[in-house]
């Protein structure tokens, strides 16, 4: 359904060129709930931004249902993607219902959305989605800014699904929530995805949540993919490598071959002595 091929993303800074993502290749199947795992700064958000077109890859290709994403078709493909942000990005002064309906903006256009010229079918779907994320009917016309963090993220989930997306990207959706609320949000997200058949790529840094909710885990470190497999295959050695940079046993074996006597060097602080 979604395929990334050899994606690089390089930013220019005052200190020079910074490589945020290097050589990332990934293929997602329809209906999959995939967690993108890794520490802060690993490149997870950059990968999501490349997919939804918020930034352009320096090198590499993105395909959606076998169609190469280009400048010409990017807008139409973006309409098939829903995004959930860590910061929610709701409009505090608008009602809960209007915030969900704002997800129709790419389809309806700015003017119709600003004038709230939404079809009755869209309003009905928004109400249904809010019910599915367990918000009460009495909260539909409440200002979004009055809700708790967990409730606001539920609104964001409903907004992401308002256009029946084929793919939902969730960028650290529970980073600012407590553990109990986080589990509730991910349960709702996974349930909505399974019900609609949408594919989900969700970035997280919490290992326990990844194990609990993912069908598949893809892990990143320093801009590169270092693991791709089932949650049960993610062992302690690989986790140490992902978060601490500790080499795995296979990496250690490949870099620790015996050296000859001539290659050996005895080192002491401030002194390096090579045998004669």
Is residue 215 domain-resident?
yes
Give the pLDDT score at 247: 74
Whether 260 is covered by a domain: the verdict is no
Q: What is the per-residue pLDDT for 273?
A: 38
For residue 118, what pLDDT is reported? 78
Identify whether 259 is part of a domain. no
What is the rounded distance in angstroms from the CA atom of residue 229 to the CA atom of residue 21? 20
Instruction: Kindly list the averaged pLDDT for each block of 10 residues, start to end, along the chain of length 276.
Output: 96 90 96 96 95 94 93 90 92 95 78 71 94 93 95 95 95 92 95 94 95 97 97 95 77 46 38 39
CA distance 153 to 167: 18
The answer to whether position 11 is within a domain reads: yes
CA distance 153 to 182: 10
Q: What is the CATH number of the domain that holds 60?
A: 3.40.50.300
Q: For tokens 């009055």, name the residue.
A: 146
Give the per-residue pLDDT at 114: 65
Handedness of CA 55, 59, 65, 67 (dihedral sign): positive
Query: What is the number of structural domains in the chain?
Result: 1
Domain region containing 236: 2-243
Closest C-alpha to 84, from 55, 53, 48: 48
pLDDT score at 256: 45
pLDDT the model gives residue 261? 39
In a domain, 30, yes or no: yes
């Amino acid at each position: 359904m979604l395929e990334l091929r050899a994606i690089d993303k390089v930013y220019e800074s005052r200190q020079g060129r910074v490589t945020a993502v290097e050589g990332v290749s990934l293929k997602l199947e329809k209906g999959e709930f995939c967690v993108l795992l890794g520490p802060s700064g690993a490149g997870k958000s950059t990968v999501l931004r490349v997919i939804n077109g918020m930034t352009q890859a320096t090198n590499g290709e993105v395909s959606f249902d076998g169609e190469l994403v280009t400048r010409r078709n990017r807008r139409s493909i973006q309409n098939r993607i829903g995004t959930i942000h860590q910061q929610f990005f709701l409009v505090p002064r608008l009602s809960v219902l209007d915030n969900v309906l704002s997800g129709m903006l790419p389809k309806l256009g700015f003017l119709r959305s600003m004038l709230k010229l939404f079809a009755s079918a869209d309003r009905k779907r928004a109400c249904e989605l809010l019910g599915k994320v367990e918000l009460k009917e009495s909260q539909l016309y409440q200002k979004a800014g009055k809700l708790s963090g967990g409730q606001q993220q539920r609104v964001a989930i409903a907004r992401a699904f308002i256009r029946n997306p084929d793919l939902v990207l969730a960028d650290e959706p529970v980073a600012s929530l407590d553990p109990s609320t986080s589990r509730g949000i991910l349960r709702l997200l996974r349930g909505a995805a399974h019900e609609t058949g949408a594919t989900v790529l969700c970035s997280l840094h919490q290992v326990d949540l990844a194990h609990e909710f993912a069908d598949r885990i893809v892990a990143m470190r320093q801009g590169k993919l270092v693991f791709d497999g089932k949650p049960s295959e993610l062992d302690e050695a690989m986790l140490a490598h992902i978060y601490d940079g500790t080499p795995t046993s296979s990496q250690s074996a490949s870099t620790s071959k015996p050296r000859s006597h001539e290659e050996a060097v005895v080192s002491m602080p401030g002194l390096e002595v090579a045998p004669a």
